[in-house]
Structure 1
């Protein structure tokens, strides 16, 4: 029997005095200082086997919540104090069960968390008590049609105080394309949200049917929540979709970087029938520009977005599910955008030598995850 694997490819303006003179900040040659900090786990161990893949943060980025699927615990980490506060043990089975494997999680507020598995989504308090269970079942919802096997397979977000979830609804094993959707589990209504111009954007899909494995290679789609905005991005191009949660209105924004391409070239083979050729195609895809989701700087009211290109690996023994960020870095760029996603400037940061992952902004500094001798660490970038 074949195994099935989904590989996801992965000018600041201000006024001064009554003359309202506009000045452009220059981001073409960004300079910054860097330091590395390590979280104190106390007498406990923070499991970094999956990095921060199964993690989420609270609204002001003062706490990190890291899920350990091996023992079903939630590590609560104080980012301000750089220490592990608590390990909350959850049950796998029973009325408060989370299931055998948690696919993703997100906070509804600072006291409640969503934990999703293949069967559905559970809403829990931070003492591991299940408050409600949110299940998508065909024939039990009005509005748009729920197709067979559709679920929120990536991190999704609930409105505070309500069982209303926004995210990418789809079946990744049948089609890599997820649809931005709103599901009201209280009223039992599904709304699939049309994205203007999405039909002309490339999908970058390659089907690999090798002797032991069937594979879909596609660009990563991400949804991030910043206040009352959801921002949908792709690893394959600069285009963004912004959903205003106050009125459910969505709009498309785009920008054209000067230091890199604004999208992957595409034109990949639609089907690949050997593992050797599949690895070659993956290397080619990753060597082209890869965009990370934007991150929001609340203090300076701007977004940052990393993008990068990779170099082909000399050997062919790397895992097929290895992400683009794990490949040898060729080029790294940082784009700076204002709160309306206008490009303010960009800089070449290839000298960093690696791609910042699981990045966020706190107190005007960019933080990103590093593993320091199996301890949880962060590099902090302070702009000069």
Structure 2
């Protein structure tokens, strides 16, 4: 199946600045932002790239030249050249056996030396590109200072390995109640400690648990870990506050931002326990109609961090995709807020966004083919 790599070009200029003068100051670098969009397709050759899960189980090379996308059905990894816009090859992994990666995976991390960290509900381990299991990742809560037996089942929530492969990180805690911690474990000794991150406790405040005779559903605000520029960033969708963790110096810094365009966090209360689907959706509506913050994105060209946020508009009906007000924020190298704007021509946040060569790439599915919307910003 041969497809042209360049699917379409749509040079459409948008004016995205806020019209509210009190939200725009001379120091707002996004005040007069505009952008154009190109849509491009990846050529899969004679293969098929399974997009059933979008890019949820994927990772990028540090230079943003290669995408690694796991097919959760056959456990193959598509290696995609983002320079030539083509599928280079597929890497195959076993589900079971001594080299098995397991049936149910929730995260993929690219590691140095052509290795992957596959995190799953059955097992978590490091694997070579050739499909060999190199190390099983398992740490007991008893080996982590500040953890106890009750934390055993959640100790690897959000597991990541530092880029130098010296530390393991996670955010254990009870999804249904309580606080969350940052855990740092030495990769060699498998000994570690828990670090208090109280600014992330807001995520637990907005949990919603549906318990009934027929079903059980859980909603929690997402707490995420990401490494950018050699530092670990801990943040959550319920608020703009974040932690910057220098794991080499073992130094934790709270980042706060004086947003003028949006609230700094979700407000009010929700019922944490409900017994019907209607009650669950009603409580969810209280949260989706408030601000929700995305992860930070680093741009090597502008030397800035960026972050999207969204507020969902009222639901029209069950068939119409729900639209959102989309916001973009800019931060300097020291995480000082230097710009904010509403992108009024967007009704959804770009999916799995990343900067490459000064342009923002966002995943799109074009008739079940892997594509990207490439945003060129003009400041």
State the TM-score bracket (shorter-chain normalisation): 0.7 to 0.9
**Which of 274, 291, 316 in structure 2 is aligned with 1:289?**
291
Q: Find the counterpart in structure 1 of residue 156 from structure 2.
A: 152
Cα offset for 1:214?
2.2
2:52 alignment partner in structure 1: 49
Using the alignment, how far apart are the partners of 1:100 and 1:289 within structure 2?
35
Match of 2:109 in 1: 106
Task: Give the corresponding residue for 2:282.
Answer: 280
Give the C-alpha shift of residue 301 in structure 1: 1.2
What does 1:346-357 align with in structure 2 at a 5 Å threshold?
346-357=340-351
Q: Where do residues 1-384 of structure 1 align in structure 2 (5 Å cutoff)?
A: 24=27, 26-109=29-112, 111-139=114-142, 141=143, 143-146=145-148, 147-162=151-166, 164-172=167-175, 174-175=176-177, 177-195=179-197, 197-198=199-200, 203-315=205-317, 328-384=322-378
Give the Å deviation of 1:280.
1.5
Secondary structure of residue in 2 paired with 1:368: strand
CA contact (8 A) 2:114 2:128 kept: yes
Q: Kindly indicate whether the alpha-carbon contact (under 8 Å) linking 2:360 and 2:375 is maintained by their aligned counterparts in 1.
A: yes
State the TM-score, normalizing by the size of structure 1. Answer: 0.85
- Greater relative CO (CA pairs within 8 A, separation 6+): 1
Distance 1:201 1:72 in 2: 32
Which runs of structure 1 show a deviation greater than 4 angstroms over 4 or more consecutive aligned residues?
174-177, 196-202
| 1:3 paired residue number | none
- Name the SS of the counterpart of 2:153 in structure 1: coil
Distance verdict in 2 for CA 1:75–1:178, change over 3 Å: farther
Structure 1 residues 35, 288: CA separation in 2 closer, same or farther (over 3 Å shift)?
Answer: same
In the TM superposition, what is the alpha-carbon distance from 1:203 to its structure 2 partner? 3.0
CA distance in 2, matches of 1:293, 1:149: 26
Which blocks of at least 5 consecutive residues in structure 1 are unaligned?
1-22, 319-326
For 1:87, what is the secondary structure of its paired residue? strand
Cα RMSD, aligned residues only: 2.3
Partner of 1:299: helix, strand, or coil? Answer: coil
Contact 1:243–1:251 at 8 Å: present in 2 too? yes
Structure 2 vs 1, CA of residues 344 and 138 (structure 1 numbering), >3 Å: closer, same or farther?
closer
Report the Cα distance in structure 2 between the residues aligned to 1:117 and 1:31, rounded to whole angstroms.
Answer: 41
Specify whether residues 199 and 284 from structure 1 end up closer, same or farther in structure 2 by C-alpha distance, changes over 3 A only. closer
